[in-house]
Amino acid sequence: MIKLEAGERIGSYRVLEFLARGGFALVYLAEDGEGRKVALKIGDVAGGGRYVTRFLEITNQRRPEGISPDETPAEAIFFRQDGVRIDFLDVHEIDDLLRNEARMLNEVRNPNLVQMRECFLHEGRPVIALEYARGKTLREKIRALEGIRLNWFLTIVRTLQKLSKSGSLAYHGDLKPENIVIKPSGSVVMLDPAMRVDERGVITTTPHYNPLLLRESKADVMGIGIMLYEILTGVLPFDEVPWQYAGREQGGEVERMSLSYFLSYPPPKDLNPNTPDALARIVYRCLTVPDYGLADLEKDLVDFLRKE
């Protein structure tokens, strides 16, 4: 594990402070020789501790001193013919994921997706220098009871469609409040698209926001629906992930019935009577309608915003 201290130099950067810990990486704030700030992402086998329960972070408790979102990271999902499994990654696998992430980000240029400055080696291991997205995460805004703007989600949906159509990023794969930053200007930046090694059937994602472990744009639609549900109600719609059914084609009555049972959840209006009917319908479609995609979601969000 590479652990850095403030003032230490790594590549052409000087470390300023520790920022965050994710599933497979540590992130440090640093600056280059001209004083420009960057976020340095370095692989870490310890990660954020996958055994810390998400239930310590349910937002209706409104406890700023509670478990940091960094403690509930994405997990490595391995896809097999008989289903999926969660597992730890060794240092070589983590470095492979970081290299793949660097290649992916190098091909993507969009103001609403975090930009990569460079990828370099330190002690033989890859380090990604990323744009430092100054602002507050959506998680921080939820916890502070600050106003949430639906326009932010519309921006995300339109950005994802643009990236998908250009062929530069088929899907984000790990949309959650921790991975969305709102800058002081009000602009939105998405962080940490799911690291993936497609040829080996591995993706890093957060099952509570991608419960069916999808590797397509529908994962992003579900993630947005779950975030809207959480903002409206203060809780997550699903308590667990149906491992025996997720991540593969559905088939057979037992699987269909089990999946239908899993996809049942308390309607947001039951938990928050002030939920607008149109928003409740959007959440329902995001979570339960298989062919409800980004274009459909964009249309529904635009229609809702026009009427408000």
Determine the pLDDT at residue 85.
67
In whole angstroms, give the CA distance from residue 279 to residue 269: 10
In whole angstroms, give the CA distance from residue 33 to residue 297: 44
CATH number for the domain spanning 286: value is 1.10.510.10
Please give the residue range of the domain that contains residue 52. Answer: 9-307
192 falls within a domain: yes
Determine the pLDDT at residue 167.
85
246 falls within a domain: yes
In whole angstroms, give the CA distance from residue 233 to residue 236: 8
226 falls within a domain: yes
Question: Which residue, among 267, 210, 219, has the nearest Cα to 241 in the 3D structure?
Answer: 210
For the four alpha carbons of 175, 160, 292 and 269, in that order, the dihedral sign comes to: positive
3 falls within a domain: no
Determine the pLDDT at residue 30.
97
Question: Coil, helix or strand for 31?
Answer: strand
Determine the pLDDT at residue 206.
81
1 falls within a domain: no
Domain count, the chain: 1
Buried b (16+ CB within 10 A) or exposed e, 74-113: bbbbbbeeeebeeeebeeebbbbbbbbbbebbeeeebebb
This prediction has a pTM of 0.85
User: Mean pLDDT in each 10-residue stretch from start to end of the chain (308 residues)?
Assistant: 84 93 85 95 65 36 39 59 68 87 91 96 94 92 88 98 90 93 96 76 80 88 95 85 54 58 82 96 93 97 92
Q: Give the tens place of pLDDT for each residue, 46-64.
A: 554 443 333 333 333 334 3
Residues 6+ apart with CB under 8 A from 305: 150, 151, 154
